[in-house]
Amino acid sequence: MDQPRKVVILGIGNLLLKDEGIGVHLIQTLEKETLPPGLELVDGGTSTLNILPLIKGADKIIVVDAMQAGGEPGSIYRCRPSDLIPSKDTPMSLHHIDFIQALKMAKLLGDDLEPRTIIFGVEPQEIGWEIGLSPPVQGKMPFLQKLVIEEALKDDQ
């Protein structure tokens, strides 16, 4: 009998910093839904180096975080970890750097998760000391939720 696929949806961010918390807000929204079997929701908060045991052995990992890439607030980007290799011209959040380090650590331990990882970044409008999402980012939440679930259900491995 085949093992069911394990797909981890990992929300990263800080709820206290407005749009910076988009990943965690998405996890909280998905927790209220009836999801297909095999999907695991993980609130990664801001401690992405500590999530390694939670994603180990996953068939697919979908990460959701704020991503400042210069687009309109609420823009949604889909990329792979290899697309986020930092350069002096690429703004990176500490979450991205920590998550990339966690993937490197997993590879050293014999579990190369990078090819099975997809990142959805959402362009923030505002990152500041306030709880909640800005209107443009909140308005994209249903579409983001749809994209993430569709990605989770793709059998592209």
Task: Give all domains of the chain, ordered by start, each with its CATH number.
Answer: 7-143 (3.40.50.1450)
3-state secondary structure of 107: helix
Q: Which pLDDT value is given to residue 84?
A: 72
* C-alpha distances out from residue 129 to 42, 45, 46, 51, Å: 23, 16, 15, 25
Of the two residues 10 and 97, the one the predictor is more confident about is 10
Whether 48 contacts 92, CB under 8 Å? no
Instruction: Read off the pLDDT of each residue in 44-62 and give the average, rounded to a whole number.
Output: 82
Instruction: Read off the pLDDT of each residue in 131-136 and give the average, rounded to a whole number.
Output: 97
Q: Give, to the nearest 10 degrees, the angle between helix 141-153 and helix 22-30.
A: 70
